């Protein structure tokens, strides 16, 4: 796996419209790279969940019973697309871009990508870092370790 810069935006809620727009814009739906993608679509986009889908998504959860999870998918024009449902009921959307030797150029591209994502999803905040895991909640979002770029502020809970 190449070294990647992960770019995330925080969306204060999660909704089928946000998920559908992100998937339509960024995910390689013909080859998403994770068989649980179809279960995610049925549960969180189409609203037609069944027990098998729920069990499939349970495999993605960060902790038992808290509901937070991340789904890593193949992206169309980026290395990876990441959809995270947080413990707070928010959504963290991410795209991974390959980080070649010129990190300053990659950071400029990440800043532009973050701005586009923030505008597209009305996201109040964004952050980026090399091999940065998605935040599972507000406290993880505010952690500084590994964060190279940050913009905006989360709204009050």
Mean of pLDDT values over 64-76: 87
Give the phi and the psi of residue 91 in degrees, each rounded to 5. -125, 135
Domain count, the chain: 1
Q: Is the pLDDT of residue 1 over 90?
A: no
Q: What is the pLDDT of residues 20-51, one digit of tens each?
A: 999 999 999 999 999 999 999 999 999 997 88
Q: Answer for the pair 101, 107: CB distance below 8 angstroms, yes or no.
A: no
The per-residue pLDDT for 101 is 73
Residue 36 lies in a domain: yes
| Helices of type H across the chain | 16-26, 37-40, 51-58, 103-120, 138-142
The per-residue pLDDT for 65 is 61
Residue 102 lies in a domain: yes
Q: Is the pLDDT of residue 119 over 90?
A: yes
> Distance between CA atoms of 103 and 99, rounded to whole angstroms?
7
Name the average pLDDT for the chain. Answer: 92
Residue 157 lies in a domain: no
What is the residue range of 68's domain? 4-152
């Amino acid at each position: 796996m190449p070294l990647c810069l992960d770019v995330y935006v925080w969306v204060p809620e999660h909704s089928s419209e946000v998920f559908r727009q992100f998937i339509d814009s960024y995910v390689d739906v013909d080859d998403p790279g994770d068989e649980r993608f179809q279960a995610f679509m049925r549960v969180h986009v189409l609203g037609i969940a069944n027990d098998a889908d729920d069990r499939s998504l349970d495999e993605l959860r960060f902790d038992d019973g808290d509901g937070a999870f991340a789904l890593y998918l193949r992206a169309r024009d980026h290395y990876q697309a990441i959809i995270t449902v947080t413990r707070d009921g928010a959504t963290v959307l991410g795209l991974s871009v390959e980080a070649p030797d010129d990190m300053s150029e990659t950071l400029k591209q990440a800043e532009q990508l973050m701005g586009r994502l923030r505008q597209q999803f009305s996201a109040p905040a964004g952050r980026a870092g090399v091999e940065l895991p998605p935040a599972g909640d507000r406290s993880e979002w505010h952690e500084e370790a590994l964060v190279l770029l940050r913009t905006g502020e989360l709204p009050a809970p």
